[in-house]
Structure 1
Amino acid sequence: MAHKIPTGRRRPIHPAAYSKDRAPVENDSDSAVLATLGYKQEFKRAFTPLEVFGIAFGVICPVPSIVGVLGDALPNGGPVALVWGWAVCAIFVMFISLTLAELGSAAPTSGGLYYWTYTYASPRWRGLLSWIVAYCNTIGYIAGLSAVDWACAAQILAAASIGTNMSYTPTIQQTFAVFVALLASHIFVASMASRVIARLQRLFIGLNVMLCLVMVVALPIVTPHELQNTASYALGGFTNFSGWPNGWTFILSFLAPLWTIAGFDAPVHISEEASNAAVAVPWAIVLSSAVGGILGWGINVAIAFCMGTDVASIVDNPIGQPVATILFNSFGQRGTLAFISFSILAQYLMGADTLIVCSRLTFAFARDGGFPFSSMLYRMHPRTGTPVNCVVACVALGLIFGLLALAGPGASSAIFSLSMAGLYVSYIIPVASRFMGGREWAPGPFSLGRWGLPVGIIAVAWMSFTVVVFAFPSTPAPSSSSMNYTIVVLGAWIVLCLLYYYLPVYGGVYWFKGPRANIQLDHDTKQDAEVASEGDEKVSLTGSSQSMPQMT
């Protein structure tokens, strides 16, 4: 039986416990802070603050993400959706990232959102809510992995089509085959040692910035004059191919920017591999959202000015991807193939980062016994020091979600929506719990102060609204192939997790008591934890007047 920590309030993490220039060292103040949360240090702390930002920026990955979802924006508003729809979403996303950053600074653990939910929710509901958050967060990342690799497969086959002068037209079965190969190959990348994964983030940052600069700077230079749009059209042109009223059509275009500027909680799930986690993690969340939003907006403006006015031919094109068509019209065949090659590499690495984050989340909840077969998932590979079993499990579930895409274009779009809906549900609950659960708040080094409440209210209201939007079909009268299956799949997932929770005798309601301590609280651990806390009120791991999750 794991050691039990009596209910008591964890002290705020003192900023002085962290040094911005400190190299990753085992058993340092980061490990002591983790001990106050009830967990022993199991990962190597190999990520510097730059590399923590890198994994968040790698999951956002502006250019490949826009390539994958531009087809959702152009029919639902055209240039107005690209420019102003993106701007609206980027602003509201910052409210979400700020409130998650504050929570991530207060409790930097790989479990993240479900841990925070259990900490701050009402004692009556915290077990169930924490359970729902963990399962929704997991399905969000697994669906995200499927969506990223599906879009990457589509890019690869679009490049093949361009290389054959459009004589080759890929089938959905061929796309699925490439998708499966990409998923399988990611197992190797995501299973590497933390040190190798951390260093790769620097490559990811450079590659993403290069692609953004090409889109923002080079695209306007090489675009033929006849395809260059006036400012009035690029900033005010509106197209509606959906059949919905114009206002709702514009709102439906939000899927594109919200899919792109997503997964910014990624740094939270590698916080146990990060140096100076309570500072590096929140700043990575905020900066990745801000940089991704600004660069993405610049890319969309460049596209709006350089795509011409025949939106219908861009959407319905022989290549199969609107962005590839726009690039082909501007760069020509060779230039487009060169650009897409780098974009494919970036998207492949984006899939790898998504799988890395998902595996760490899975490992954390398995550590707390929340998944079926948790004892098998909660294992570290002896050579790499990474949760390889969790990596394989995430890929297997990602493959199952990928099968949805075989049902038609509506089903493949639902994978994107499902990812966003799952993630946003898992964001809403801990943020709302913090303010409504009645528990005392202990901020970390990154704190919004008195602005925390209004920022949280705006974030929750915006996410609640967009979760509804994600469930709508692309047309008012959808067919079976164009239907949005997000609500069906997400609803079925939540029902299954609730059935598992309330299953008679064996359900989680009987044994899941939230985060479980896995650390022996010896004298040295207590002493280290006290050093990492405020000097005037030392942390006591055997009892305190303040509250923290009950660990069993």
Structure 2
Amino acid sequence: MATESKAEPSKLDSLNDDAYLQRLGKRPVLNRSFGFMSMLGFSCSALLSWEGVLVTSVPGLLNGGPAGVIYGFLISWIGTISVYAVLAELASMAPTTGGQYHWVGMLAPKSCRNFLVYLTAWLTTTAWQAIAVSTGYITATLLQGIVVLAQPSYVPEPWHTVLILWAAMLFAVIMNSTTSQALARFEGLILVLHLAGFFGVLVPLVYFAPHNDAQTVFTSFINAGGWSPQALSFLIGFPTVATSLVGADCAVHMSEEIQSAALVVPRALMFTIFLNGLFAFGMIIGLMFCLTDLESALGAATTMFYPFLQIFYSAVGSTTGACLMAGVILVLAVASSVSVYASASRMLWSFSRDKGLPFHRQLVKLSRNSLPVVAIVTTLVITMLLSLIALGSAVALSALLSLIISALYSSYLLVCCLLLWCRITGKIQSHISGSDVTELGFLTWGVWRIPEPLGTMNNIFAILYTVFLLFWSFWPQTNPTTPETANWSILVFGSVVIFSIFWYIVRARHHFKGPIKEA
């Protein structure tokens, strides 16, 4: 179990976050409007775990079957908890918007610090931009799938998808451009809807649908991807289920807008992954018991995009009821875009603050309400441009979006390895309250950490799990593989890494010294 400092919560609430941030080398320019509950709502909204497993678990049946999906999710849940526990320790040491790349700047040796910081910043920034596009695409295609369910004569066109995506993302931009107080209240409301929606979908699904027996659910494995033996098929299908738990680190990138961030951010990370994992597991169990016709569900993917829409219809036997259940998920997907845009734009703004991006002088500009509006609008423009890929090929867009796991978990792997190195070499001092905080070259634990030796053991396990997930995330789902079924993530990920290295050598190494210490 994680431990916190002996300071009372009231004393921690009175902690001067701005002074803490200044000692980390950053000027406080954003409003701190988020507390624990609003940030928990923010993180749950961005993660969308139980909603996400409806999208990923049925395709995941091809390599693994019902038992493979269940056990694969449990493994991914345990591994993700371990990884986020390490991130929580780092967030308590240095709660800054830069997140992973700022931590790399603290932990990495001077000889390679600038390069590793730059590479990590590029990976994290690119991943969050890809998440923004992915959220918009899922929202648009989900709406089209609901329309097909209600009106089978409707034929979804790619340009319909793009226009709906633009409209949904415009809503996210408007919400992010109001005030930070309004955004915090909105996220608190979404937390209630996220929890209530879970029961609103699961209860009718389980109550009305015919059920499989327990033996089928917990012992039935399927190998429809052409990989042999069954164990290999299970491992290849594992990353598909694991994607439902990606993105909880959004709280990290909002750190400079959170009160008592050194404590609230770690708590939000851990509560988010525990609660969302619990709800997602419950939804997977319910879905596997109610999935009695896998063939028709998978067939619906070609007409309604998402098999769970057919499962809903088969369960309740009513088009209206199925559309209402799917409508709950649609509303939450739109709300998720608000949180995703907030995190993506803050990451873009933070990297620009450290002069790591072209046009960084414009990207760091704030509105009257101390919001990074230019970065928010730039994220919208990037989303709109990348979404045009769907007009030519949905496969090409999927290849781009496959970057999410590889880029994010690569940044996690780097900071986990560096923290372990600092742990075992004794470079991190005990937490000292008040005036001494973590800076570049001077490391102290924050108010939230895992006691030793559990901390080191968890750190090692997080590294092993991340390597495991990254390795299997690059495998194609079917064998033999065609251009349409290939896993292009290694190509996209490699392109981003090669470009960032090339740009660093040619230009960035001459001026990028981040994370810089602001006056």
**TM-score normalized with structure 1 length:** 0.85
Counterpart CA distance in 2 for 1:173 and 1:64 is 25
The answer to whether 1:392 aligns with 2:377 is: yes
TM superposition shift of 1:431: 1.6
Name the counterpart of 1:232.
Answer: 215
The answer to whether 1:274 aligns with 2:277 is: no
Matched residue of 2:324: which SS? helix
Counterpart CA distance in 2 for 1:154 and 1:81 is 27
Name the counterpart of 1:490.
Answer: 493
Aligned partner letter, 1:31: D
Which of residues 82, 85, 102 is equivalent to 2:89? Answer: 102
Matches within 5 A, 1:79-478: 79-164=66-151, 166-223=152-209, 227-245=210-228, 246-308=230-292, 310-317=293-300, 318-331=303-316, 332-382=318-368, 384-406=369-391, 408=393, 410-436=395-421, 439-440=427-428, 441-450=443-452, 451-478=454-481
Structure 2: gaps (5+ residues): 429-442
TM superposition shift of 1:408: 4.5
User: Are the counterparts in 1 of residues 90 and 103 from structure 2 also a CA contact under 8 Å?
Assistant: yes
Matched residue of 1:148: which SS? helix
Matched residue of 1:92: which SS? helix
Structure 1: gaps (5+ residues): 1-12, 520-552
User: Are the counterparts in 2 of residues 160 and 168 from structure 1 also a CA contact under 8 Å?
Assistant: yes
Counterpart CA distance in 2 for 1:135 and 1:15 is 37
CA deviations over 1:76-117 (Å, ceiling 9, x no partner)? 222113321111111111100100000001101111110100
What fraction of aligned residue pairs are identical, expressed as a percent?
A: 24
The answer to whether 1:55 aligns with 2:42 is: yes
Aligned partner letter, 1:358: A
CA deviations over 1:279-312 (Å, ceiling 9, x no partner)? 100011111011111110000000001111x312
TM superposition shift of 1:501: 0.7
User: Are the counterparts in 2 of residues 146 and 415 from structure 1 also a CA contact under 8 Å?
Assistant: no
Matched residue of 1:359: which SS? helix
Counterpart CA distance in 2 for 1:409 and 1:248 is 27
TM superposition shift of 1:213: 1.5
Aligned partner letter, 2:498: V
Name the counterpart of 1:64.
Answer: 51
Name the counterpart of 1:527.
Answer: none
Name the counterpart of 1:542.
Answer: none
Counterpart CA distance in 1 for 2:139 and 2:185 is 23
Name the counterpart of 1:518.
Answer: 518
More helix by share: 2
User: Are the counterparts in 2 of residues 410 and 485 from structure 1 also a CA contact under 8 Å?
Assistant: no
Name the counterpart of 2:504.
Answer: 501
Counterpart CA distance in 2 for 1:403 and 1:129 is 32
**Change in CA separation of 1:395 and 1:133 when aligned onto 2, cut-off 3 Å:** same
TM superposition shift of 1:188: 1.3
**Change in CA separation of 1:405 and 1:258 when aligned onto 2, cut-off 3 Å:** farther
Counterpart CA distance in 2 for 1:399 and 1:20 is 45
Aligned partner letter, 2:184: A
TM superposition shift of 1:495: 1.4
TM superposition shift of 1:442: 1.3
- Range with bigger deviation, 370-379 or 432-441: 432-441
Counterpart CA distance in 1 for 2:126 and 2:102 is 17
Matched residue of 2:248: which SS? coil
TM superposition shift of 1:373: 0.9
Counterpart CA distance in 2 for 1:404 and 1:238 is 36
**Change in CA separation of 1:300 and 1:411 when aligned onto 2, cut-off 3 Å:** farther
User: Are the counterparts in 1 of residues 45 and 187 from structure 2 also a CA contact under 8 Å?
Assistant: yes
- Range with bigger deviation, 184-193 or 54-63: 184-193
**Change in CA separation of 1:94 and 1:277 when aligned onto 2, cut-off 3 Å:** same
User: Are the counterparts in 1 of residues 69 and 238 from structure 2 also a CA contact under 8 Å?
Assistant: no
Name the counterpart of 2:10.
Answer: 19
Counterpart CA distance in 2 for 1:373 and 1:150 is 27
**TM-score normalized with structure 2 length:** 0.90
**Change in CA separation of 1:303 and 1:211 when aligned onto 2, cut-off 3 Å:** same
TM superposition shift of 1:14: 7.0
Counterpart CA distance in 2 for 1:20 and 1:168 is 59
User: Are the counterparts in 2 of residues 49 and 276 from structure 1 also a CA contact under 8 Å?
Assistant: no
Counterpart CA distance in 2 for 1:69 and 1:459 is 23
TM superposition shift of 1:35: 1.1
Aligned partner letter, 1:221: Y
Counterpart CA distance in 1 for 2:263 and 2:492 is 36
Counterpart CA distance in 1 for 2:388 and 2:456 is 41
- Range with bigger deviation, 349-358 or 460-469: 460-469
